[in-house]
Amino acid sequence: MPRNSSHPATLAAQALGWIDPSTGAVVLPLYTATTFERDPDNQYRRGPSYGRADNPGYNQPEALITSLEGGAASLLFASGMAAATAVFRSLPLGAHVVAPQIMYHSLRRWIAGGAAEGHLKVDFVDMTSLDALRQAVRPGETRLVWTETPANPLWSVTDIAGAAEIAHNAGALLAADNTAASPVLTRPIELGADVVMHSATKYLNGHSDVIAGSLTGARDDEFWRKLTATRSSGGAILGSLETYLLLRGMRTLYLRVERACRSAQRIAEAMAAHPRVAAVLYPGLPGHPGHDIAARQMRGGFGGMLSIRVMGGEAAAIETAARVRLWKRATSLGGVESLVEHRASVEGPGTPVPSDLLRLSVGIEDSDDLIADLAAALG
C-alpha cells in the first residue's frame, strides 16, 4: 500500500509505491477479466462486478493522477475526447456553457455541433480576458466554464484562479484541460478548478503509443457520481493493456516534462533570434501576453509546447516542415520524440490558427540537435 511522500516526483516514479500483496511484485498485474465472481449470498463484497464499470487495474493509475492533481478522485477514459465529452454529457440538456475561442479544435467543433443540435448553449470567448468571461457567464444559468491553458496552438494563457471565481459566482463549475501543462507545472484544483481533464495520450503517457483520457474531481460529490455513471453507461473505458502502459509512462512524467520545458525554452529563445521567424508563441518568453500569469500559475517551467510563425506565409511554413530531418511531421504532442505540424492544414477552413504557424511539440532529445535541425529547415 502507498507510503505517502510530499514530493509528487517521488509519488510518480514509484507509482505511489504499491506492492502486490500476494507476490511482492513492484509492478501490479494487468487485469483482463471482464467479470467477477459473486459471493454465495449474491453480494460483491470484494468490490468489482463487471469490467465496464470496474477494472482493478484502474485503481493505481487513477489514485496516482488524483494525488498528482491534488483532487478527490479520478476516472480513466478511452481517450481525452471521451473524458472531455463526458463532462458536457453529464450536464442537464440545453445547459449554457462558456468555452474558449482558442482551444483543442476537435473539442471546439464537438461543442459547436452539440449547440447546433440544441443539446447545449455555448458562448466562445477570449479566455485570456477575465472581463470577456465575466460578460459571457449568465448567473444561475451557466453550468460550466471550460478552460485550456496554455491553449492549443497559440499557447494563450488563462488565469485559472480568476476564471474559477467568475464561474463560481455565477453558480457554474470550472473545468480545466490540463493536457499541455501537466500536473508537473500546474495544479488547477489548487487554483479553484472543479474538474481537471487530460488527454493522457500526451504527457501523462508520453510515448505516443496509448490513446487515453482522464478526469479528476475536486470533490466526490453529486456531479462526480454523474461522471462516474456517464463513463460506465457510456462505455468509453480504457483497455487493460493501455491502462498498464499509461501507468508505466507516468513513472517518468517528471523527468520528461522537466527536460521538455528546458529544451522548449532554449528553442523558443533560438527561434526568436532567427531571421526567418516572424513570431514565437511561448509563455516562457517575457514578451508573450500571458507570461506574467503563466509565471504565477506554472511552476518549474512553461511547458514543452510552442509555435512559430514563419516569414513568407503558408507556403514557407509548409516547406519548412518538409525540410526537417529530426523533427517528425505528425500530429499529437507530449511524446518523447519532437513533432512539428502545420496546424491550419489540420484544422481546416474556418480555423482561427494563422496559416504561417508551425506547432512544435518538444521531446526529450538533445536540444542542440533540435535547434540545428529547425534552423537548417528554416534556411
Ligand X SMILES: Cc1ncc(COP(=O)(O)O)c(C=O)c1O
> Where do contacts with ligand X occur on this chain (CB under 6 A)?
79-81, 84, 104, 107, 148, 152, 177, 179-180, 199, 201, 211, 213, 332-333
Do 176 and 217 touch, CB atoms closer than 8 A?
A: no
Q: How far is the CB of 176 from ligand X (least distance, A)?
A: 11
Catalytic residue from among 52, 226, 323, 328: 52
In the complex, least distance from residue 77 CB atom to ligand X, rounded to whole angstroms = 9
Question: Which of the residues 58, 104, 203, 282 is marked catalytic?
Answer: 104
Which helix (H) or strand (E) segment holds residue 199: the answer is: strand 195-199
Cis peptide before 188 (omega within 30 of 0): no
Choice between 84 and 370, CB closer to ligand X: 84
Is 58 one of the annotated active-site residues of the chain? no
Closer by beta carbon to ligand X, 100 or else 354: 100
**DSSP β-ladder status, 142-148 and 95-100:** parallel
Q: Which of 123, 177, 356, 373 is catalytic?
A: 177
- The answer to whether 146 and 114 are in contact (CB under 8 A) is no
Residue 153, preceding bond cis, omega within 30 degrees? yes
Alpha-carbon gap, residue 251 to 40, rounded angstroms: 39
Instruction: Say whether 225 is catalytic.
Output: no
Between 55 and 205, name the residue whose CB sits nearer to ligand X.
205
Catalytic, 369? Answer: no
C-alpha distances (whole Å) from 87 to each of 57, 217, 226, 378 are 23, 11, 9, 41
Segment (H or E) for 305 = strand 305-310
CB of 339 vs ligand X, minimal distance in Å: 11
CB of 232 to ligand X, least distance (A): 19
Active site (annotated) includes residue 108: no
Closest distance between ligand X and the C-beta of residue 365, in Å? 21
Of 285 and 333, CB closest to ligand X: 333
**To 5 degrees, how large is the angle CA 137–CA 149–CA 313?**
110
Please, are residues 211 and 241 in contact by the beta-carbon 8 Å criterion? Answer: no
**Nearer to ligand X by C-beta: 179 or 277?**
179
Contact 107, 84 (CB under 8 A): yes
The CB-nearest residue to ligand X is: 80
Q: What is the set of active-site residues? A: 52, 104, 177, 202
